[in-house]
Amino acid sequence: MIKSERVKNIIQILNRVYPNPPIPLDHKNTFELLISVLLSAQCTDQRVNQVTPDLFRLADNPEDMCKLDLDTIYGIIKPCGLAPQKSSAIKELSKILVDDHNSNVPNTFQELERLPGVGHKTASVVMSQGFGFAAFPVDTHIHRCAQRWGLTNGKNVTQTERDLKRLFPENLWNKLHLQIIFYAREFCQARSCYGIECEICRTSFPDRKYPIEVKKP
């Protein structure tokens, strides 16, 4: 199966299995989404969704978040890991939003990526899920599957993002990002499938007999 056929096959399977993928991080506004995505670094979405209700009950906007002391933020988000760095980033970026952005989350990659604790992937998720801009955030799940499905050489997440954007229509990026994540967690997991067991791997490479070694980001 050539690459263009694999792409069509992947789209068909994902649309059948996950026709309407939900946004996995619970939030009521763009600020809550930004904080939730920041917290999800090296942490599961499930764990983030467990701690954010307590945090957002105290502060669901930049003004109120600025007023919280670091110990309060830290005490709530500690289960997410990297809590000292994340606590500082949350408080600092909230102050920047108040001082420089009229308490609004900016809707450009450049402005988002200037915020403490916000890298390109976090900015991409906010641009996609918060503002509806076409983006293709690449996390470890997508990076892994893109290699197993023969869509990228896996040098790094930047290359993977570039390759996926080139292969898939722009109007599908936001949905595909979520579909691949859900599929990766359920069917093409890091410690199973190995490129030879799930439906996409089997149909994309029916003659593949040996596990695929994935290059980590």
- Determine, yes or no, domain membership for 217: no
Instruction: Note the pLDDT tens digit of each residue in 162-186.
Output: 999 999 999 999 999 999 999 999 9
Task: Exactly one of 121, 165, 207, 209 is catalytic; name it.
Answer: 121
Instruction: Note the pLDDT tens digit of each residue in 19-64.
Output: 999 999 999 999 999 999 999 999 999 999 999 999 999 999 999 9
Q: What CATH code is carried by the domain that includes residue 125? A: 1.10.340.30
Q: Encode the chain in three state secondary structure.
A: CCHHHHHHHHHHHHHHHCCCCCCCCCCCCHHHHHHHHHHCCCCCHHHHHHHHHHHHHHCCCHHHHHHCCHHHHHHHHHHHCCHHHHHHHHHHHHHHHHHHCCCCCCCCHHHHHCCCCCCHHHHHHHHHHHCCCCCCCCCHHHHHHHHHCCCCCCCCHHHHHHHHHHHCCHHHHHHHHHHHHHHHHHCCCCCCCCCCCCHHHHHHCCCCCCCCCCCCC
- Determine, yes or no, domain membership for 214: no
**Active site (annotated) includes residue 139:** yes
Average pLDDT of the segment spanning 89-100 = 98
Same domain (yes/no): 114, 149: no
Task: Exactly one of 86, 91, 139, 163 is catalytic; name it.
Answer: 139
Q: What CATH code is carried by the domain that includes residue 145? A: 1.10.1670.10
Domain count, the chain: 2
Q: Which residue range forms the structural domain that includes residue 12?
A: 3-21+136-204
